[in-house]
Every structure is written in C-alpha cells, then in structure tokens.
Amino acid sequence: MNEPVVAIELSAGASAPEYQTEGSAGADIRARVGSPVVIPPGARALIPTGIRMQLPRGYEAQIRSRSGLAAKHGISCLNSPGTIDSDYRGEVSVILQNHGSEPYVVADGDRIAQMVVAPVSTARFVAADSLPGSARGSGGFGSTGR
C-alpha cells in the first residue's frame, strides 16, 4: 500500500504527529502553547500545535478527539472530525471543548487530538428540476429509528 507523503514544517519546540502503535489509524498531535491554557467547564479553546503541512492533492487530514481525554476528563474536539484541506498552509490548531465538571489544563507538549490522513473524492453538482423518490423520502433526524 502506498503511503501518502505529508511534508510538515514545525515551529520551534513543536512535535511531529506520531503514531503510538503499528496499527494506529490516527497520529497523535501535541499542543504547542507558550504557557498552560485553562479550559473552564463548558468552555472551549483554540489550541495551537506548531504544525504546518502540505498534504498531497486528493487527501485531507481529519482532526479527531482522543478517547482517553474524552473518557477521563470530558475533553473533545469541536467540529470533529475537522478537515484540513490539501491546499491549506496555515498552522494546525485544535478546538477543544471541556464537557467535564472541572477546569482542564492544556500544557505544552500534551497530546490533545489525533490526525487521520484520508483520501477524498470530489463531486460534480448538477442542477435538477426534480429528484426521483426513495423508500426513505424526506424523513430525517431519527426517522429510521423507533
């Protein structure tokens, strides 16, 4: 299987994304903060990583929550999975939300999210006067459940 090559540029002191095990789908990304960031309960914060990258055309990087942070502290990534497009060249930042009952402190170098590099498809959108029916129809928002 051909692995996509992702060129990265790191700010001083930043860490490259890192797979923790041979079978990991997501590479952990770390906070790059000058001083600790406190996220009060119910609040969110935009946390820099010090990483800029060049993804190959036809790929995206998805930013996802780390299950341990969610289970132990109620910390998740908003807009998850967040998409980093192949033509974006700015610093990768992560929006962390504190769903817990205690303030959460993000320190420099903490593993805050995971990044999955995945292929993407684009579509050609064509206007239509009408759409064919389907068994589901216009039912949504739980219409296929109880």
Q: In CATH, what number is assigned to the domain containing residue 76?
A: 2.70.40.10
Q: Would residue 59 count as lying in a domain?
A: yes
Please give the model's pTM, rounded to 2 decimal places: 0.88
Q: Would residue 10 count as lying in a domain?
A: no
Mean pLDDT of 87-101: 97
Res. 82 pLDDT band, cuts 50 70 90: very high
DSSP state, residue 68: H
Residue 77: pLDDT over 90? yes
> What stretch of H or E contains 69?
helix 67-73
At residue 143, the pLDDT reads 74
- Number of domains observed in the structure of the chain: 1
Domain with 66, as residue range(s), is: 15-119
Query: What are 3-55's pLDDT values in tens digits?
Result: 889 999 999 999 999 999 999 999 999 999 999 999 999 999 999 999 999 99
Q: Would residue 108 count as lying in a domain?
A: yes
